[in-house]
Structure 1
Amino acid sequence: MPVTPAPSPTVPASRRVLAVMVMVPLLAALALWAFAWPATRMAPRDLPLGVAGPAAAAAPLEQRLTSRAGAFEIHRYADEAAARTAVQNREVYGAVVATPQGPRLLTASAASPAVAQLLAQALTPRTPAGAPAGAPAVPVTDVVPAPAADARGTGFGASVLPLALAGVAAGALVSLGGLRGGRAVTAVLGAATLVGLTGAALAHSWLGVLTGNWWAEAGVLALTVAAIAGGVAGLHALLGKAGIGLGVLLVVLLGNPFSGAAGAPQLLPEPAGLIGQWLPPGAGSSMLRSVAFFDGAGAAGPALVLSVWAVLGVTAIAVGGRRTAPLPAPSAPAPAEAAPAPAPRS
């Protein structure tokens, strides 16, 4: 007689209502903290800045900058040429050069328009209230200017969230679509490649937000999406549906606001800037900026972070696929041969 399985217990409606009432405000509070806290606490924190020129002339400038405790990380250079090279190699965001005519400022608005503006303001002499106009502003040379189509960097900063959403969507669709093993890996990498090509076509060819090598930019966009999608799908393979939620938390609620793409990681409150650079959105935006505007200078670290995420995600997908692979159906036993009929008695 077949045994009827016991019905699975259902959560009472009152508990589900209570869960919604509690979880939604908690998620709203978490999102508000993650997005609003860094935005309202932006200030230079150990921001790499160069000081160039003879020691006697550069010492007062260095002393003036170090008077703002913890704001700048000073790098000394012998002359303007060395400082300019450091800016182009993304070793510093800018440099103050001591000259006989007074200090001059080298910036790279392509590295961060917000930082370039902040440095110019930091070196502008302050005029006391009611006093006549003071000394003129410090001359500024933009060594690596931002694209004319995105002079304020708003387009570049706005590119992080679409990449994050694309990666999360790819990882979730692969997971919930039941793809496993090699098929899941192929879907993740294929979607990431197409997103990279589409993103480069839009941001470079159409909007003019990116101005570097087209194929290199497409590769960075694809690697960023692959790291995110692989991470989400890998977490799902290891943790189930809770893994997708964890991926959304890491990528969208933390990775996006902590990326520093709209300004710089060193402008975010600690440890948000550091955490953001260890997550795919922050590493992807840093690598994309290096490839698009600085001929790849400073791209090694972010590339390593993205590669680790992608490799670990693909590995988790493969391991999880083996664990959840259906066992082969047992073969039906061969029918027993019928016994020969007894011979009739005579």
Structure 2
Amino acid sequence: MPTPSATPTRPPARRLIAAVVLVPVLAALALWAFAWPAARTAPHDLPLGVAGPATATAQLEQQLAQREGAFEIHRYADEAAARDAIEDRTVYGAIVVTAQGPELLTASAAGPVVAQTLQQAMTQQAAADGTQVRTVDVVPTPKQDPRGAALGASVLPLALAGIAAGSVVTLLRLRGPHAVTALIGSAALVGIVGAAIAHSWLGVLTGDWWAEAGTLGLATLAVSGAVAGLAALLGPAGIGITAGVVMLFGNPFSGASAAPQMLPEPVGTIGQWLPPGAGATLLRSVSYFDGAAAAGPVLTLTWWAALGLGAVLLGGALKSRTKSGEPVTERELAAVG
């Protein structure tokens, strides 16, 4: 009488060890991704303007240079040129040397944290010099959102909407043009609904309505296309990979609540290469700065969306070719007969 073979114990043991180790590793990764940039928030080559006669600004530039690596100095002839640079998003603020004393120009709409940091730094410097600094907010945040919290809070919902749309398209087994149509349609609706809520209802976005809707939709499509595209090529595992990248790196590295230059390098740069960071930067530009400096984030989001949708079409074509090459089954023959 044959004896039953012993039940293998090694595979379950390996799965158990993997489950026990994987959770702490993911927790440590998430803690590092979210906590480390927050704990190291400070100016890192932050673009800052200095305006006034060269003889008057020389001492000021020397004082700023003592904070090595903090500021990237841009020189302007007068206050008008400095204001233009702020409105064009070339710099986050500017210090204007006048006969009455230094004047600080800020743009809280570009990042309230940045404006507060510049104001604190200038206040401390003025106290040491025995002078007073007058602060002018050139591009303020909306009255309905004076702390600028709403724009920073928009990053996570858009990322979740993109992940959800890409996952639904994958789980419903939509392929090729049908999947692309569903992704574009859902992203367009997200953009319209988002603009209706943030602009028309809450009043926290104040730019061109359709530009804001297009930004919200493009940011969603960049994520949903990447999710569905990688899933079309790798299977359901593609959903987890893309969602992990977006949530663990894209969200905390976006700089939406402060500014990319307030995050440690290379976190700020990486964040602008990912959809959440590019989407937040573009939304800030179209809502508060009439689209200034929007070209870079538009190209980034378009690149993500195009690659994602291209992967969706490629994955659908590969699956169709594989299916067409399969042998005909007896059931299919009977159905034909």
The TM-score, its normalising length taken from structure 2, stands at 0.91
Distance (Å, rounded) in 2 between the aligned partners of 1:195 and 1:46: 35
Match of 1:168 among 155, 163, 172: 163
CA deviation vs aligned residue, 1:266-293 (integer Å, no higher than 9, x gap): 0001110000000000000000000000
Task: Report the counterpart of residue 242 of structure 1 in structure 2.
Answer: 237
Query: The residue matched to 1:210 in structure 2 has which SS?
Result: coil
Kindly report which structure 2 residues correspond to 1:177-196, keeping only aligned pairs within 5 A, or say none. 177-196=172-191
Q: Give, in whole Å, the separation in 2 of the partners of 1:144 and 1:127.
A: 23
**Amino acid of the structure 1 residue aligned with 2:212:** E
| Cα offset, 1:155, TM superposition | 1.4
Instruction: Report % sequence identity.
Output: 63
Write out per-residue CA displacement over residues 307-327 of structure 1, whole angstroms, 9 at most, x where no aligned residue: 000001010000000011232
Deviation at 1:135, TM superposition (A): 3.4
Greater helix fraction, Structure 1 or Structure 2:
2
The Cα of 1:142 is off from its aligned counterpart by: 0.5
The answer on whether the counterparts of 1:125 and 1:135 sit within 8 Å (CA) in structure 2 is no
Aligned to 1:89: 88
Q: Which residue of 1 aligns with 2:63?
A: 64
Secondary structure of the structure 2 residue equivalent to 1:76: strand
Shift of residue 126, structure 1, vs aligned partner: 5.3
Where does structure 1 differ by over 6 angstroms across 4 or more consecutive aligned residues?
A: none
Is contact 1:265-1:276 (8 Å) kept? yes
Instruction: State the alpha-carbon separation in 1 of the partners of residues 34 and 232 from structure 2.
Output: 29
Which residue of structure 2 lines up, in the alignment, with residue 283 of structure 1? 278
Which residue is equivalent to 2:291?
Answer: 296
Aligned length: 322
Rg larger in structure: 1
Equivalent position of 1:107 in the other structure? 106
User: Bigger CA drift: 319-328 or 134-143?
Assistant: 134-143
How far 1:202 sits from its partner (Å)? 1.2
Q: 1:256 to 1:10 in 2, by over 3 A?
A: farther
Q: Secondary structure at the match of 1:48?
A: strand
How many Å apart are 1:12 and its aligned residue?
4.8
Cα separation, 1, equivalents of 2:18 and 2:164: 25
Contact 1:107 1:144 in 2 (8 A): yes
Give the structure-1-normalised TM-score: 0.89
Matched residue type, 1:256: N
Give the aligned partner of residue 217 of structure 1. Answer: 212
1:327 counterpart = 2:324? yes
Alignment-derived partner of residue 79 in structure 1 = 78
Q: How far is the alpha carbon of 1:137 from its aligned partner? A: 3.9
Where does residue 207 of structure 1 map in the other structure?
Answer: 202
- In structure 1, the residue matched to 2:149 is 154
Contact kept? 1:212, 1:293, Cα under 8 Å: yes
Q: Which runs of 5+ in 2 are unaligned?
A: 1-7
Q: Distance between the aligned counterparts of 2:290 and 2:250, measured in 1?
A: 25
